[in-house]
Amino acid sequence: MIPEINDPTPSTEIAKQGIREVLQANDIPTLEKVRIKYVGRKGQITTILRSIGKLPAEDRAEAGYFVNKNKQEFLVNYETRKEQLAEGAQEVKEFFDYTLPGERPPLGRRHPVTRTMEEVAECMMQLGFDWAEGPEIEDEFHNFIALNIPENHAARDPSDNFYIEDDVLLRSQTSTVQIRYMEEHKPPIRVFAPGKVFRPDTVDASHFYIFHQVEGLWVDKDITFSHLKSVLLMFGRMMLGSDLKLRLRPSYFPFTEPSAEIDFSCFVCGGEGCSVCGRKGWLEMGGCGMVDPNVLETVNIDPEEYTGFAFGIGIDRIVMAKYGIDDIRLIFGNDVRFLRQF
């Protein structure tokens, strides 16, 4: 309440009128106009406050007390009313009619890489392989040394790997999983390991510093290159169609001997040549070969008694060709417009 003591200025009556207008304001814009009218730069109470200096010296202290007290009383009522109106506006904003029919919320979709990895896993399990996993942060022993990659090999160059410490890095291949698995299991071994790998490639339409691979490993007595070729052909046809053809080109990898590059006939154009396969009719999918005896010895498996094969296939290449994606960056971009297409 405004004090009823004698006020040498008209601020008390003016403040009372201002408070009445504050309480009658039904929305924030109207309330703001009331504030400006009374305590704005040219407001009625502000004008009185500025005129105190014109009063006789003996009246200035008492007048200043009343004017400031009346101004504060006005502002307290203003702030309280402003909060009330703001709460009411929020209630109106959040109100909705329960009788209206519901709207179906947008549903998420599995990423094309996830879908393809699930298909890969299903095919490999049908071929008799068990799922294996390993860490994405590896040491040099499992990423290089146990895989028969010498210290001076280009694959170990710091510029071609994501090193975290001197001998710790993000794995550059899923072949690390076969080492860890063979350390803990003895033949017969028949596993596959899908997952992410990391290499500091220059990012463009066909390269990214993260990509996905699936590693396959079969170690047993009397395993030959023919077993490898049969598994790759069956896997390819289960994944991409019964007309798919397989081509193995001689190559070199430190952890396999002999080694080969894996090519699948383009499942977009049927091998006739298109933009997806670069008019070649073939798609490069990865590498393979017979497990090098040095690798088997490293994990205490007798290479005189056991042989085996291993292969690594790029899952992202399958995804791009299968769904007609011409830029690998779209796979990792999290663009909702892209993801909604699947």
Domain 113-339 has CATH 3.30.420.10: no
* Range of weakest confidence among 34-43, 131-140, 214-223, 295-304: 34-43
pLDDT of 333 > 50? The answer is: yes
Most confident range, picked from 17-31, 39-53, 268-282, 289-303? 289-303
- Contact between 116 and 315 under an 8 Å Cβ cutoff? The reply is yes
pLDDT of 95 > 80? The answer is: no
Task: Over range 299-308, report the average pLDDT.
Answer: 96
- DSSP helix/strand/coil, 309: strand
* Range of weakest confidence among 90-99, 204-213, 270-279: 90-99
Element (H, E) at 137: strand 137-139
Burial call 287-309: b when 16+ CB within 10 Å, e when fewer = bbbbbbbebbebbebeeeebbbb
Confidence band, pLDDT 50/70/90 cuts, at residue 1: very low
The rounded percent of the chain whose pLDDT value lies above 70 is 94
pLDDT at site 318: 85
Q: How far is CA 336 from CA 110, 196, 333, in A?
A: 12, 22, 9
Task: Over range 79-90, report the average pLDDT.
Answer: 79
pLDDT at site 7: 59
Whole-number average pLDDT of the chain: 88
pLDDT at site 240: 86
Q: What's the whole-model pTM score?
A: 0.68
Pairing of strands 189-198, 163-165: unpaired
